Chains A and B, each alone.
Chain A
Amino acid sequence: MDLLEFARGPAMQWALILLVLGTCWRIAGIVFLKRKPDLSEPRSHGQMAGALRTIFSRSVPARAFRSRVLYSNLLGYTFHIGLAIVVFAYQPHILWFESILGFQWPALPNAVISVAAVVTLFSLVALLVKRLTSPVLRLISNFDDYFSWAVTVAPLVTGLMAVADVGFGLRYETLLAVHLLSVWLLFAWLPFGKLGHAFLVFLSRGTTGALFARRGART
């Protein structure tokens, strides 16, 4: 079995197993936790509405903080959208999803994907620079932050390298295999570290929203 076959077969299966296992574990582990008994009189009963509202309202920075977080917010948006374009609008990727889901959707031209990938990469680098240069951010960053950054950047770099066929002597199949392996590393790590926010963000925001609504705070 060559590296590409290994990446396509067993490596992919194990990465997905870890992804599914970790995701189920994290979600079940939180959902079945005991709620802290809240003995106060509820100020409002619109807790579900509050939860839903907060999931969206937290996507926009509060006015008071707007100027201070503008830089990282803009970069954050740029790279999340860029990542979504690269992952979900690139034809080879769509065909991979089709092999799981059984259906496909329209793709964007490769040139658009390449631009999106480069922009995404630069925003991620800029965010790392900010993390390293801001004393506060640096203080609260741990291994998880840096590792999660690295496994997100790796598929972008390896994907671009494969498409541009610059492998410093490595052949295209090897580059492709390295790209796939870097993606599987991302998948395998995703549920266990801070990248878990990809699915936990809705749980945590919803919980906060419900709590705020109950207490009559703005959601």
Chain B
Amino acid sequence: MHQGKTPETLGEELRRRGMSRRTFLKFCAAVASSMALPATMAPVMAEALAKARRQSVIWLSFQECTGCVESLTRSYAPTLESLIFDFISLDYQHALQAAAGHQAEEAREAAMKEHWGKYLVIVDGSIPLKDGGVYSTVAGETNLDTLRHVAEGAAALISVGTCAAYGGLPKAHPNPTGAAAVTDIIKDKPVINVPGCPPIPEVMTGVIANFLTFGRLPEMDALHRPIAFFGDTIHDRCYRRPFYRRGQFAKRFDDEGARNGWCLYELGCKGPVVHNACATTKWNQNLTFPIQSGHGCIGCSEPDFWDKGSFYAPLSTGRWGSAEGIALAAAVGTTVGIGSALLSRARQSDIIRKG
């Protein structure tokens, strides 16, 4: 994405853009603290980042809506985060690259050869597996083949967005294309998930900064998510929590409770079981997040959030399926009861007859 002579290290790039060391250190401190690293790590990080060489990145887009790319690239005016994003060498990305047609695929092959074993692969979108993967192809190649091929020489993979991380919307019931997540397919490489629909830009750059600094992916939870950003639930950090504790719940989106900023649990907020950084990192340059705007969390960073009942049903709503099972149980129970009563009646009469 860079024209002309490109600087070799991130430090050079920052100097070229007139970024002061102080601003840079501040950024590193922010990244360090958001990743739960000790403050003493900030200068170390700054040093490592300044020396970091351009990182070759191959971005694969599969069954996706481009919302994730939008979130990450259109977030806001240039900041250090976006600089880091600029600094990586995005060697292949459908939507953003200038090259088109076969040139694009050739550029990808060239980057793979040059950086074999060292490049990062970022994936957005899920991979269809049904019917040999015919439901999504690029340049005549199925997504499945592309992913396997490109992952082979990767240092690590980052699944961006809920689709790449867990299958997402394409996987929603009845999953017509057999959509799968990257982790369902790639088992022999480190894969980190940055789920969200879309994910938070800062989380993305945090993970990349971590990789550039330490040369490896940050610590992850059981669902392959960076613990630093996904360790807490939305509910853990929600500023409406005091209302939850007091049992003050908005009943409608326009009632007095809603106007007073009460808890949105009854309106379907899934915050208690959703892991994401929205309540702390927030959106739009740390300005706000959905709950602050008056809507409950829909759990967009969790697997299968599309299929977990209505966004507006309270969390404790049971999933009934159908009432037939219960009706049948009542019928069977009553029958068995009558049956056993008749049996003991017979025995009773027997005893009475025998005296």
Contacts and interface: CB of A to CB of B under 8 A. Distances in A.
A27 B337 contact: yes
Interface string A1-13: 0101100110011
Contact of B334 (A17, A28, A98, A165): A28
B145 to A, nearest CB: 29
Interface residues of B, number: 44
B314 interface: yes
Contacts of B236: 165, 172
A4 to B, nearest CB: 6
- Chain B residues touching A, majority SS: helix
A205 B89 CA distance: 81
Contacts of A91: 247, 249, 265-266
Contacts of B341: 28-33
A12 to B, nearest CB: 5
Contact of B318 (A22, A96, A108): A96
B321 interface: yes
Contact of A107 (B247, B320, B325, B329): B247
A181 to B, nearest CB: 13
Interface string A180-199: 00000000000000000000
Contact of B342 (A5, A32, A109, A172): A32
A131 to B, nearest CB: 30
A30 B272 CA distance: 44
B226 to A, nearest CB: 15
Interface in A15-29: 16-18, 20-29
Contacts of A29: 336-338, 340-341
Interface stretch (B97-105, B122-130, B131-139, B343-351): B343-351
Interface of B: 233, 235-236, 244-247, 249, 265-266, 272-273, 303-304, 308, 313-321, 325-326, 328-330, 332-338, 340-342, 344-345, 348-349, 352
